[in-house]
């Protein structure tokens, strides 16, 4: 109960909090795209590639040009994200991604509260099915699936 520690929690439904930039303005209370919130709780799952963090955390990606809803602006973080976006060298990407994680952990950009679990039921006749922890969904590798008789 947040009221016991002096915090007034206000519920704003999905139509308000997730209203896109093109359907909102500064007067809309607690809207992610406009950045007019103190704290927001919502689920988000980025892609498995490190470059997927670029549009969500780079300081040039505030709405309407990206999804940096938290308005993160950190030159050190930007530099690492630029490295990730600018190369295909997996070792360089891994090093920069590790630094991104260190920066985000030190600056508490977000507080992860839970992991969104996906459960898929698959017949034993389906071959090549692999779980996917991203928002791409269960058919991300559809080209590799097969069906036994």
Q: What percent of the chain has pLDDT over 90?
A: 37
Whole-angstrom Cα distance, residue 80 to residue 97?
A: 7
Q: What is the pTM of this model?
A: 0.67
* The two three-digit tokens of residue 147, written as one number: 């069906």
More confident residue, 93 or 40: 93
CB proximity list for 128: less than 8 A, separation 6 or greater? 141, 144, 145, 146
Query: Is 1 in a helix, a strand, or coil?
Result: coil
Whole-angstrom Cα distance, residue 65 to residue 69?
A: 11
Q: For residue 112, what pLDDT is reported?
A: 65
Q: For residue 82, how far is the Cα from the chain centroid?
A: 17
């Amino acid at each position: 109960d947040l009221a016991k520690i002096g915090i007034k929690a206000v519920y704003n439904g999905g139509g308000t909090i997730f209203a896109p930039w093109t359907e909102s303005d500064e007067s809309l209370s607690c809207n992610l795209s406009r950045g007019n919130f103190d704290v927001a709780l919502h689920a988000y799952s980025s892609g498995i590639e490190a470059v997927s963090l670029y549009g969500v955390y780079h300081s040039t990606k505030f709405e309407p040009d990206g999804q940096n809803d938290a308005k993160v602006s950190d030159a050190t973080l930007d530099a690492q994200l630029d490295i990730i976006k600018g190369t295909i060298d997996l070792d360089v990407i891994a090093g920069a991604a590790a630094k991104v994680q260190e920066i985000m952990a030190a600056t508490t950009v977000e507080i992860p509260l839970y992991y969104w679990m996906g459960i898929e039921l698959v017949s034993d006749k389906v071959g090549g099915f692999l779980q996917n922890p991203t928002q791409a969904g269960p058919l991300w590798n559809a080209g590799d699936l097969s069906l036994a008789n």
